[in-house]
Amino acid sequence: MTLLVIGISHRGAPVSLLERAALAPEERPALLHAAVGTRGLGPAAEAAVLSTCNRIELYAAVEQDARDGADALTALLARHSGVPAAELAPYLYLHHEDDAVRHLFDVACGLDSMVVGEGQILGQIKAALALAQDEHTAGRLLNDLFQQALRVGKRAHSETAIDRAGQSLVTVGLDQLAPAAGTEWPRGRRALVIGAGSMSSLAATTLARAGVSELVIANRTLDRAERLAGALGAGEGTRARAVPINAISMAAELALADIVVSCTGATGLVLTAGAVAGALRERARRAAARPCPAVEGHTDPAPELAVLDLAMPRDVDADVHRLTGVRLVDIESLAAASADAPMAADVDAVGRIVAEEVAAFRAARHAAYITPTVVALRAMAADVVAAELARLHGRLPGLDDKERTEITRTVRRVVDKLLHSPTVRVKELAGEPGGAYYAAALRQLFDLAGADAGDGTATPGTPVTLGAGRLPETVPAPTPYAHHTHHAHPEQERS
């Protein structure tokens, strides 16, 4: 079997395409059954689908010649996503064997998430495995892969501080917006957080802990904003409220805010230069008409409006930085500053864990493949020993029980010693490139019928060779830290 993963994610595909291609929960079983086919006649022997707002991935175990299987699975993904294959193709990636294993482990650890280190993806991987199990499309290979991915993700979070990556991005951004070093900024300020996703929630929590006096959560879905505001407003010292995202509310809140943090995942601009300029004019008008606070207990806005854009693509018009009275920090300007040593060390540590676990999975898979051969060889040897001992006892009926026992033990010791080194060595060699051929040689030399592995443990895959016009064999893997500095998007994986 060859292990494959075919999919699209936030790393390469635009949000609009991900939204169109998203698989509703009720659509996922149909894709799984199409992949394995009726009576196992589909392009895959096993299949599992991982679908979130930020990725759609089809994991499959296919036969040795994986080229046609990969093409067929690509066509199925296009058909069930409702997006034409020609439109998906530029954004699709294909990984096979170790690269597929490494990819899922990276995903499980949060290295491939929009917010590096986020843990919600573990629940989504668990749900993907449960669905494949319920639909009977996950065999031994995918069961083992997904179970180990869950363990790897938990290990990464328990042995490193990878969770700090997203926190560091918010903290660095707010630090860059501080008007002067050593101040208690943003204590006592009014903050507007646009969006209620994971990164926006993280920013809102950070601001509340920093002691902002008022926190306004603006979101397209008001009830979600209200839940977040309710949770944050329960603490002392910070008033929290929710508003819907619309032109009227945004204009009013921008005029009152000292700090704006935006991270919505929208495909277009949320704050245009014109909207911000209008808010600045209103702020100036309020300052000239003192004292007239808009809300009881409020003072006038600070002289400058601090804007932190954590979205990719950007929420805030880049021209905003040209406006007098605004400080703007966005993802691009944070890329270098957020690469602090502690976070880089955590990402590197998780990368080492992933590398170890990929090697362990490969070794276990090869061992599972070689085991039937070793068992068959030892069973054949035991049959030969039994037959020859029976023959000896027939020829020497005068042997007493003690002599028979000693002869039996001696013959078995000789056979065990003869088999020990070859069987241990073939298990060791199985984990090396081409190791499967040693098992095949044993089966051939000793005529071990029925010793082929099955249930997803058959020969670990031959590299996929794709023809002209097909998907690239694999996507070049970035360095572990590049997941954060170049590809991380501030919205968390969420279903």
- Chain segment 406-448, per-residue pLDDT in tens: 999 999 999 999 988 888 887 777 766 666 677 778 788 888 8
**Is the Cβ–Cβ distance between 471 and 92 less than 8 Å?**
yes
Furthest-apart CA atoms within the chain: distance in Å: 121
Structure tokens at 198: 């994971």
- Please state which of the ranges 19-33, 68-82, 239-253, 292-306 shows the lowest mean pLDDT: 292-306
178 by Cβ neighbours in 10 Å (0-12 / 13-18 / 19+) ranks as: middle
**pLDDT tier at 236, thresholds 50, 70, 90:** low
Give the Å distances, CA to CA, from 483 to 109, 288, 330.
Answer: 12, 47, 17
Residues annotated as catalytic (active site), given as ranges: 53
Chain centre distance of CA 95: 14
Q: What is the pLDDT of residues 444-486, one digit of tens each?
A: 888 886 555 444 444 555 444 333 333 444 333 333 333 333 3
Mean pLDDT across the chain, nearest whole number? 81
Cα(234)–Cα(240) distance, rounded to whole angstroms? 8
**Is the Cβ–Cβ distance between 177 and 326 less than 8 Å?**
no
Cα(128)–Cα(121) distance, rounded to whole angstroms? 10
Cα(50)–Cα(47) distance, rounded to whole angstroms? 10
Q: What is the mean pLDDT of residues 43-69?
A: 85
Give the residue ranges of DSSP H helices in 178-237: 198-209, 222-233
Upstream peptide bond of 303 is cis (omega within 30 degrees of 0): no
**Is the Cβ–Cβ distance between 345 and 410 less than 8 Å?**
no
pTM surpassing 0.95? no
**Is the Cβ–Cβ distance between 311 and 492 less than 8 Å?**
no
